[in-house]
Amino acid sequence: MEFSARQIASIVKGNIEGHTEKSVSSFAKIEEAQEKDLAFLANPKYEDFLYTTQAGIVLLNHTQVLKSPIRPTIIRVEDAYSAFASLMKTYQQMQSTQLKGIQEPVFIHPTAKIGSDVFIGAFSYIGENTVIGDNSKIHPQSYLGNQVTIGARSVIYPGVKIYHNCAIGNDVIIHAGTVIGSDGFGFAPQTDGTYQKVPQLGNVVVEDQVEIGANTCIDRATMGSTIIGKGTKLDNLLQVAHNVEIGENSVIAAQTGISGSTKLGKGVMIGGQTGIAGHIRVADGTRAAGQTGITKSVNKPNTTLNGTPAFDAKAYLKSQAVYKRLPDLEKKILELQATLDKLISEKETVSA
C-alpha cells in the first residue's frame, strides 16, 4: 500500500514542505530509511541523520529548525513521535481488516454468538455462550472458555487462553501465550501441615483499550473480579494476582509481580521487575523505578519511588551516592580508630 504526502498530512493534520504527491509504502528509522520509507525525527540526538537520510518523507515537529536544506519531503506536526505511531496504527488496522471469516478446523459451540466481520483462526476453541464482538480477530490456537465475552475490534493473538466467565472489552489487544482467568493462588493451611485449595469463583474484567503483552498471567478473583482498568498497558511476563485492581491508563513493565487484593490507582507507572505486596493501595500517579519493592501502601498521589523496601526516589539516589563511598568511608574510620588508639595508648603511658 502506498500513501502520498497529501494523504499522510490529512491523517496527522500536518503541513507539507516539498512534493505533495511524494509517496511512501513502508516505515523505517531515520538513519536506515530509503526512498519509499516514511521516517520521523523527535529526539534531538538523531538530528544529524536528518541531513543524510534517504527517506522519502520525514515527520518533523513544528519547532524543528533546519540548519540546511534536506532531501526528503517534510510534514510538520505538533508531535512527530505520536503522529508516526498513529500512522503505524492506521496501517496495521488496514492490514488487519483483510482477516475475516472462520478457518478450519475450529470448535465453536452452537450457543456462541459471533459478530460481523470476525476472524477466527484454525485450531481455536470457542466455548458455550461465549460472545465475540464485531470486527474482532481471534488468531489460531486460541482458547475462549464458556461465557467469555470479547468486545468489538479486539485482537486475541495465537495461543491466548481466556478462562470461563471472563470479560474482555472493546479495542483490547492480548498478545500470544497470555492466560486470563487462571485460578488465584489461594490455599488454606491445615493443622496437619497440608494446604486446602480455596475455590476461585470470581472472574477477570479487562476494560476497553487495554493492551496485554505476551506470556502474562492475570488470575481470576476468589470472589468478585480482578480488574484491569481502561487504557492500561501491561508488558510481557507479568503476574497479576487474584482480586488485584489496576486503575485506568496505568503502564506496567515486564516481570513485575502484583500480589493479591492490591489496588493500584489511575495513571500509575511501574518499572520492570518491580514487586508489589498484597492487600495494599497505591495512589494515583505513583511512579516506581525498575526493581522497586513496594511493601506498604502509598497514600500520597504522584509519589516517585525506588529501592527495596521502596522510599522516595530522590532520597534513594542520595543513599546510593553514599553507598558507593562506603569502602573509602570504612578506610577512613579504620584510620581514625588507629589514630585514636595510638593517642589513648600514649596518654596511658604518660600517666603511668
Range list of H helices, the chain: 5-12, 80-96, 313-324, 326-351
For residue 125, what is its C-alpha cell? 476453541
Please name which of 77, 144, 69 lies closest in space to residue 114, comparing C-alpha atoms: 144
For residue 303, what is its C-alpha cell? 509519589
Pick the catalytic residue: 19, 62, 164, 242?
242
Residue 267 near residue 250 (C-beta atoms within 8 A): yes
Please name which of 120, 117, 184, 183 lies closest in space to residue 157, comparing C-alpha atoms: 120
The number of C-alpha atoms within 13 Å of 149 and in the hemisphere containing its C-beta is 12
Residue 152 near residue 146 (C-beta atoms within 8 A): no
Distance (Å, whole) CA 260 – CA 258: 7
Q: What are phi and psi for residue 161, nearest 5 degrees?
A: -120, 120
For residue 287, what is its C-alpha cell? 511512579
Please name which of 108, 153, 110, 103 lies closest in space to residue 126, comparing C-alpha atoms: 108
Q: What are phi and psi for residue 204, nearest 5 degrees?
A: -120, 135
Give the bridge partners for 101, in sequence order.
Answer: 119
For residue 323, what is its C-alpha cell? 553507598
Please name which of 24, 103, 21 lies closest in space to residue 57, comparing C-alpha atoms: 24
Residue 139 annotated among the catalytic residues of the structure: no
DSSP output for 286-315:
-EE-TT-EE-S-B-STT-EEETTTTEEHHH
Q: What are phi and psi for residue 304, nearest 5 degrees?
A: -110, 130
**Look-up of cell digits 515537529:** 61
Residues acting as catalytic residues: 242
